Structure 1
Amino acid sequence: MIARFLLLVSVASTSFITPAAFAQDTTPQPVDPAAETQNPRSDVIVVTARRRQETAQEVPLAISVVRGDSIEATGNFNIVKLQQLAPTLQVYTTNPRNTSVNIRGLGVPFGLTSDGFEQGVGIYVDDVYNSRVAAATFDFLDVAQVEVLRGPQGTLYGKNTTAGAINITTNQPTFHFEGRAELTVGNLNLKQAKAAISGPLSDTVAVRIAMASTSRRGTLFNTNSDRWINEQDNLGLRGQLLFQPGDDFSITLSGDYSKQDPECCGTAFVRVGRTQRALTRQYDALVAAINAANPGRNYAVSRNVYDRRTDLDSSLNAGNKIGGVSAKIKWDVGPGTLTSVTAWRFWDWKPENDRDFTGLSIVSKSQNPSQQDQYSQEFRYNYESQQIDFVLGLFGFKQRIDTQGTEQQGADASRWSLTGAQATDPAILQGLTASNTQYLKADSAALFGQVSWKVTDALTIQPGARINYDKKSGYYQRVVTNGAGEVISCTPTPAAGSTLAAQCGVYQPQISAPSDSAWNFTYDFNINYKVARDILAYATYAKSFKTLGINQNGLPLNADNTVNYDAGTVKPEGVNHYEIGLKTQFFDRRATFNLTAFRTDISNFQATVNGGQFGTVRGYLANAEKVRSRGIEADFKIVASDRFTAYANGAYTDAQYKKFTNAPCPPELSGGTLQPANVPADYSQPGVPGAFSPRQCDISGAGLPGVSKWAFSYGAEINQPVTLLAKEGQVYFGVDGNYRSRWNSNASPSIYTSVKGYALTNFRAGFRGEGFDIFGWVRNALDVDYIETLQVAPGNTGLIAGQPGDPQTWGGTIKFSF
């Protein structure tokens, strides 16, 4: 495996091409003048991964750095697109709330929306933690660089992060005037404008203001509404005020606001797979029955997802408002620097979805608007000396999220969900409504620190530790009303075959108030050795955790139809992480090659399960016994000359459930009458209509969802000095691309949700000079058909829906700066 991997990386590094600005470290940054004199071709990038400024090659951990100009050049304008440049990053989204950001396959349970658990990948913007992935789906605005830190980072970052961290740094106010403006137009009616200006208000006060606006036509045509959906409609604003009376003290006040208001996020028909439901109760037969009951209707939809046509009949919206304010104080106190970061952030989410994924009126309304407020305070003291460096921090966090959910059954629901005579009576389910009220309160506090002891000029020992306290409390209430608006009750259990029994089989009233707290102590130990001036070897062990979770979307039922309150809380994850790495530079530091091998073992992995053993198919959060992720990563770049740069990054990731005995069953093993309790599950009849279905499935050994075993990114740029229209500059040509091998898009891997691997290639060409850059670009230049996500439609009817990736897009960009 390793030999194959290194061979592929070697081939990629000599044959693929990349942007001059990208890298893991491609664009030179201001560094020590003496060092530059010694090596004028030194390729240096400064990072703050360890809460102090240092070059990426000095940091003894796996880190990818993407510069702001590379983000712009390659069109990767938010976190969702960032995975195209960082192979070990997996980002999948069906809408902003349902977004998974994982590193090495770890982070959050795939496909589950719940506020009751923590993300394993911390997202920070200018040192401010963003607690929900959905609250970090804003467009990148005036970004200087993005650092992707792989592996546990809890002893350096305020909120414990078991899988890694994404550290976003924006451009800061300056005491000299500078500004930039950018305009992009393209097909699909793309219009994007960006601008930023910075300068002094006095000798001690500077200000920076930035804005960005993006609009683009959607990529799916809804024949029901006669509109293109899944569009982009984004606006972002950021302002910063810097007060710096001296070199030893500064205060930065920041405020930002981002608004997204697209008609999004719809799906298209992908395929139908056989389940164990009775054949007459599966998708094709149900559609035929509805057409027969409605002469002249003849419902049908394109069965080629790449026709980019859908027929969703429910309202769609992905309204997302994100913003906040922060105050960052830096003060040189004694021999070190004290940093205080105080922040408040909000997230206002107003979605509307079509949860049956069809143009039939099965679920006629589905919306779960949420409002979040979060407050955080971090104190950090950094000390550096010739022999000892350390960081000591204190972090406090408070969060509240309120959600008001509504889901309603439509005119076709009875025919779709009921049998016999009840299926012919639309009034039984039409208008049946579940109204959910819920909130989450979360409090967290941590004391953390890390010490670097430089034993010799070459050897450094770096231990770290963290003490963490978390408390979570939630509330969930579901009230169910029938089509007449009357509240129904499902206790005691209604008589079989009754209208009430049919209604309770779809929505059941419920109330729960889970609450729990936990203390945790974690630590890590790193040893690194400078083998030579430009060769650094390191090894890391980390004992980490992801804090407890609570179920916020309702609980499963016991056999007697009562609520199983024991499922209200979820145990913390326990993490053992091992990593070794080698960082090298050669060819007079023109070339960089970094290699990392890792293994992460997790006990009590927080995953999606179902309540099949209790007679319900409702999904909720619980603990898988053991998960393991292991792999190897390589990053290569070369600055061959002022005229040519290239990079190739690759990752092999083997992430799997080592032991998961009560997992949800995939659709091919679902939908039939449940097998008897307390007997071994029978998996021998997948996709056989009428077969008995396991109550739960043992998927031990199966791969984690969303993870490609192989992933690569690559690119290059070549330029030539010219004089054009009396302007001196460079004509340049660049190409970048990425490849991901096959992966599965369901929490329990299914033969129906396997997503084929794909490779995307992008080109750009332009002319740049002092203060300007004009270029044209083509993304997905080969117009590759690929799937971003697949989803299993509810009800075990076999319907699989999905979202195709962007088709070929093209356009032009003009940038000016002073």
Structure 2
Amino acid sequence: MHKRFRAFLYTTAASAIACSSAHAQTADNDAAPAGAAAVAVEDIIVTARRGNELLQDVPASITVFTEKALQQSGVTDTQELANLTAGVTIVTSTAEAGDTQVNIRGLNGARDAENNVALVVDGILKTNTAQLNQIQGRLVQAEVLKGPQGAYYGRNAAAGAIVLTTKKPGNALEVWGEGGIGENSLFYGRGSLSGPVTDTLGFVLFGDYKKTDGSYRNTGPDAHSAGATVDRFMGYNIGGRLYAESGPLTLDAKARYGKIDAAGLSFDVAFQLPGFAAALGNPLFNEDVNRRNFSFIGNIRPDNNQKTVEASLRAVYDFGGTTLTGWILYSDVDQDLLADSTSASLNRFASQPSCRATTAALFNAGFVLPSPQFLGPTPEASLFGPFGPTTCDGIQYQVREQKDISAELRLASSGDARFDWSLGAYYLHIDRHTGVAINDDQGAPAQLRLYTPAGSPNPTSLLFDDQFTTNVYAGFGSADYEVSDTLDISAALRFDREERRVDNLVPDVLDPATGQPINPGFALGPIASKKRVYEQLQPKISVAWTPSRQFTLFGNWGIGFKAGGFNQQGSNAVINANFNTPLGSNLKIEDEYRKERSSAFEAGFKLSALDSRFSLEGSAYYTRVTDMQFFEFFTGGFGLLRVVSNIDRVDLKGFEASANFRLVDGWTMFASGNVTDSKIKANATRPDTVGNKSPYTADYTLNLGTQMVAPLRDDLDIVFRADYRITGPTWFSTVQDQDRRTIFDLVFPGLGTANYKLTRRDAFGILNLRAGVQGKGWSLTVFADNALNRENIAEVIPAPEFGGSFVAPGALRTVGVQVGIDF
């Protein structure tokens, strides 16, 4: 961005802040901080438990974002919701666009497994993890419900639920839109058109577009991959909705199409080899991930493409006293990823002509690798990390395609009696194709195929390719009894049965580079298809005592469940051949992982005071997780491997609180925080990790913020909002302050033992600012995301037997300006 434009943005922001402060005392009550609303807390209606309830009455911890709060905080997707919610953290798009892991109170959604958070959009449950951070339309309310919700939403709601409500058509034509520009060539726009077609039928059209070059650049010598190729992003969605109400019948039909063209695998490597650091006098062989000076030099331009097609129909019929609700959803999400690979470190392709030629050419040109790597005239005389500038890493190509169709029927009472009930049934069918290939990089353009035969420009060296088929059947019910005007007891129960099958698609051929099968599982014989069934009963019991409209005490207990599943077939053979046999690692990684079960208790309170100007909530919780699913990453001379393992038992306990205070009309301050104490109690996969913290779980989160709306005149306001989020120290692996013998110890005996105490992400804070003016039907806003330009870590993936970690940086500061219309 031009320096004069940046200066203009900063000046505008500073002026708006000053004006907001000057006029705060006379502002009206038009603002709603995230987690609160412009109306009194006790008047907010939520649907997270599948029925309309007052927020104050819900016997659970729930954060609500009203339409006003969503607009004034700039929230459009799950990532932005998570960053404003205590006890919730998120990792998304570090590997690829559809790769999202949400952690709520220590329960994390393991990469390559199922969601641990139910995503519900306009009453319809979406189960594909790739949809979790997609823009779903123009949001008018968002709810984040914490704790196991399996009794209401099934196998993918162990940690909670995210319930989104989008724009419905009104009785008049409405046009809404906002667009902006910013640093790093940021450009975005989103808008909707809605209105009536007839007296009983209305429509909504929605679209969004975003493009950015990202915060980081590839500085390697390859012209094709250099430049803004590290975290670039381009994506758009278009969608439509028809909504009809005719007497007792309501019909809601929706369709959406989306595409993403982005970078992927925005990781750098940090080594954790203290023996090498001491022997060679180079501390970068044992590097703190928080001090990493990121260097992206890969010779392959990463390319991540995603296409989404979905359509749904929801019908509600009111019988007068009971309501029948049914819906059906079709979803098709296809994505692939082309990127540099990790095979250079152990010389998998060292004998290949292209690897030797590019190494010699870069050496002769005087190119210098980032320390502690070094470049010699041959691969054998070099020390390579992954994602390097030579062709010695190979090419990584991944495919993740999922089609699913789901349907539900639910019969419920009207909700206005002392006793309310519901009964229902659910079905889901999933066809999922997942493949990961490592292909020889011979310098020619990559072929976007999982298997390329010997003699092709980039023949396949390692391949995992499987077809997964899943059928889910569930029955559920709930009952709520108002014992008295102040005491309410509710119970819900759901049974899920999940039938899974995996079929190997890899041909039984040899790797031209090594002479071994391209899937190591073939070394033990044919790879047979497998079937498994996973079942779980998921109860939920809640109690609420409301002695007054302003105060509620509540408690609840529930069971959470995530089905087990299959790793890519041949995973166990890779682990045994490359780690267990040569290193004595004794890793218990199988081609199948077990189901996860959690038992969670919560008790808390909700208070509204000072004529609803002040609200305070607090809760304490304890969760015991059995067979927690956890993502592990392995790399070496064989290439790379992604698997899901199980941690036998993890205990999670903590507390959280939130407060909102409207000091005067138009000026609100808000704060929320969470502290989680996590501990691994048993772990047969890696027994020496017992006593460590649960991976991907921040020790604490703290959100602080303020919002002001100050009138300049009758039809013009100045708006200012600040959000500061502190995320506490976080481990990303079960292996923490432990030693591990690595593959380097086979080559350099005595030096190849790694220690991972420097892989914990330190606490960090991110400040987001928004300031501007708004009139009747329009607004102008200057924003600064990560306003202090705080360097931060998005994710750390230790590869314990490799001797290093893959580290993804978080986004740096983006300053921009946004224009909005609404009429």
Check if 1:367 corresponds to 2:397: yes
What are the Cα deviations for residues 519-545 of structure 1, in whole angstroms up to 9, with x where unaligned? 322212111111322111111121333
Give the CA deviation at 1:712: 1.0
Does the CA contact (< 8 Å) of 2:41 and 2:56 recur in 1? Answer: no
Instruction: Letter of the 2:45 partner, please give it.
Output: V
Does the CA contact (< 8 Å) of 2:114 and 2:129 recur in 1? Answer: no
Instruction: Letter of the 1:333 partner, please give it.
Output: F
Check if 1:536 corresponds to 2:552: yes
Q: More deviation in 751-760 or 503-512?
A: 503-512
Give the structure 1 partner of residue 124 of structure 2. Answer: 128
What are the Cα deviations for residues 261-320 of structure 1, in whole angstroms up to 9, with x where unaligned? 013342235x3220679999999999xxxxxxxxxxxxxx9x997765410112311211
Check if 1:651 corresponds to 2:667: no
Give the structure 2 partner of residue 446 of structure 1. Answer: 474
The CA distance in 1 between the partners of 2:489 and 2:727, in whole Å, is: 36
* SS at structure 2 position matched to 1:155: helix
Does the CA contact (< 8 Å) of 1:63 and 1:150 recur in 2? Answer: yes
TM-score, with normalisation over the residues of structure 2?
Answer: 0.79
What are the Cα deviations for residues 352-395 of structure 1, in whole angstroms up to 9, with x where unaligned? 12232432433321111122111110112221233112222211
Give the structure 2 partner of residue 59 of structure 1. Answer: 58
What are the Cα deviations for residues 319-340 of structure 1, in whole angstroms up to 9, with x where unaligned? 1112300001011024121111
Instruction: Give the direction of change, closer, same or farther, for the CA distance of 1:276–1:484 in structure 2 (3 Å limit).
Output: same
What are the Cα deviations for residues 33-75 of structure 1, in whole angstroms up to 9, with x where unaligned? xxxxxxxx67732211121222211211111112344344434
* SS at structure 1 position matched to 2:572: coil
**Runs of 5+ consecutive residues of structure 2 not aligned to the other structure:** 1-28, 343-385, 444-454, 582-586, 737-755
Instruction: Give the direction of change, closer, same or farther, for the CA distance of 1:510–1:759 in structure 2 (3 Å limit).
Output: farther
Over the matched positions of the two proteins, sequence identity in percent amounts to 22
The CA distance in 1 between the partners of 2:555 and 2:499, in whole Å, is: 33
Give the CA deviation at 1:92: 0.9
Does the CA contact (< 8 Å) of 1:514 and 1:551 recur in 2? Answer: no
What are the Cα deviations for residues 527-579 of structure 1, in whole angstroms up to 9, with x where unaligned? 11113221111111213332232223533139799999993433322322111
**Runs of 5+ consecutive residues of structure 1 not aligned to the other structure:** 1-17, 29-40, 287-300, 413-426, 491-502, 664-696
* SS at structure 1 position matched to 2:85: coil
What are the Cα deviations for residues 663-704 of structure 1, in whole angstroms up to 9, with x where unaligned? 2xxxxxxxxxxxxxxxxxxxxxxxxxxxxxxxxx42111111
Counterpart pick for 2:813 among 796, 808, 811: 808
Counterpart pick for 2:299 among 309, 313, 318: 313
* SS at structure 2 position matched to 1:227: coil
Give the structure 2 partner of residue 706 of structure 1. Answer: 696
Check if 1:604 corresponds to 2:620: no
Give the CA deviation at 1:410: 4.8
Give the structure 1 partner of residue 327 of structure 2. Answer: 341
The CA distance in 2 between the partners of 1:560 and 1:232, in whole Å, is: 38
Instruction: Give the direction of change, closer, same or farther, for the CA distance of 1:580–1:361 in structure 2 (3 Å limit).
Output: same
Give the structure 2 partner of residue 249 of structure 1. Answer: 249
Equivalent runs, 1:722-761 vs 2, <5 Å: 722-723=712-713, 728-749=715-736, 750-761=756-767
What are the Cα deviations for residues 721-764 of structure 1, in whole angstroms up to 9, with x where unaligned? 113xxx72211222111001111233433313211111111222
Instruction: Letter of the 2:712 partner, please give it.
Output: V
The CA distance in 1 between the partners of 2:66 and 2:186, in whole Å, is: 23
Instruction: Letter of the 1:363 partner, please give it.
Output: D
The CA distance in 2 between the partners of 1:568 and 1:101, in whole Å, is: 24
Instruction: Give the direction of change, closer, same or farther, for the CA distance of 1:228–1:522 in structure 2 (3 Å limit).
Output: same
Give the structure 2 partner of residue 667 of structure 1. Answer: none
Give the structure 1 partner of residue 365 of structure 2. Answer: none
Give the structure 2 partner of residue 458 of structure 1. Answer: 486
* SS at structure 1 position matched to 2:481: strand
Give the structure 1 partner of residue 448 of structure 2. Answer: none
Give the structure 2 partner of residue 572 of structure 1. Answer: 595
Corresponding pairs, count: 701
Instruction: Give the direction of change, closer, same or farther, for the CA distance of 1:765–1:135 in structure 2 (3 Å limit).
Output: closer
The CA distance in 1 between the partners of 2:508 and 2:613, in whole Å, is: 66
Check if 1:180 corresponds to 2:176: yes
Instruction: Letter of the 2:418 partner, please give it.
Output: Q
Does the CA contact (< 8 Å) of 1:158 and 1:394 recur in 2? Answer: no
The CA distance in 2 between the partners of 1:793 and 1:567, in whole Å, is: 17
The CA distance in 2 between the partners of 1:283 and 1:434, in whole Å, is: 33
Give the structure 2 partner of residue 194 of structure 1. Answer: 190
Does the CA contact (< 8 Å) of 1:101 and 1:133 recur in 2? Answer: no
Instruction: Letter of the 2:807 partner, please give it.
Output: G
Counterpart pick for 1:157 among 149, 153, 159: 153
Give the structure 1 partner of residue 241 of structure 2. Answer: 240
Equivalent runs, 1:81-96 vs 2, <5 Å: 81-93=80-92, 94=94, 95-96=96-97
* SS at structure 1 position matched to 2:153: coil
Instruction: Give the direction of change, closer, same or farther, for the CA distance of 1:509–1:488 in structure 2 (3 Å limit).
Output: farther
The CA distance in 1 between the partners of 2:784 and 2:523, in whole Å, is: 48
Instruction: Give the direction of change, closer, same or farther, for the CA distance of 1:616–1:582 in structure 2 (3 Å limit).
Output: same
The CA distance in 1 between the partners of 2:670 and 2:402, in whole Å, is: 40
Give the structure 2 partner of residue 405 of structure 1. Answer: 436
Instruction: Give the direction of change, closer, same or farther, for the CA distance of 1:518–1:436 in structure 2 (3 Å limit).
Output: closer
Instruction: Letter of the 1:402 partner, please give it.
Output: H
Does the CA contact (< 8 Å) of 1:432 and 1:480 recur in 2? Answer: no
Instruction: Letter of the 2:114 partner, please give it.
Output: E
Instruction: Letter of the 2:436 partner, please give it.
Output: G
* SS at structure 1 position matched to 2:571: coil
Does the CA contact (< 8 Å) of 2:260 and 2:307 recur in 1? Answer: yes
Give the structure 2 partner of residue 298 of structure 1. Answer: none
What are the Cα deviations for residues 452-473 of structure 1, in whole angstroms up to 9, with x where unaligned? 1001101111111112211011
Instruction: Give the direction of change, closer, same or farther, for the CA distance of 1:226–1:559 in structure 2 (3 Å limit).
Output: closer
Does the CA contact (< 8 Å) of 2:729 and 2:763 recur in 1? Answer: yes
Give the structure 2 partner of residue 631 of structure 1. Answer: 654
Instruction: Letter of the 1:313 partner, please give it.
Output: N
Give the CA deviation at 1:631: 0.7
The CA distance in 2 between the partners of 1:527 and 1:207, in whole Å, is: 40
The CA distance in 2 between the partners of 1:619 and 1:808, in whole Å, is: 32
RMSD of the alignment, in Å? 3.5
Give the structure 1 partner of residue 363 of structure 2. Answer: none
TM-score, with normalisation over the residues of structure 1?
Answer: 0.79
Check if 1:99 corresponds to 2:104: no
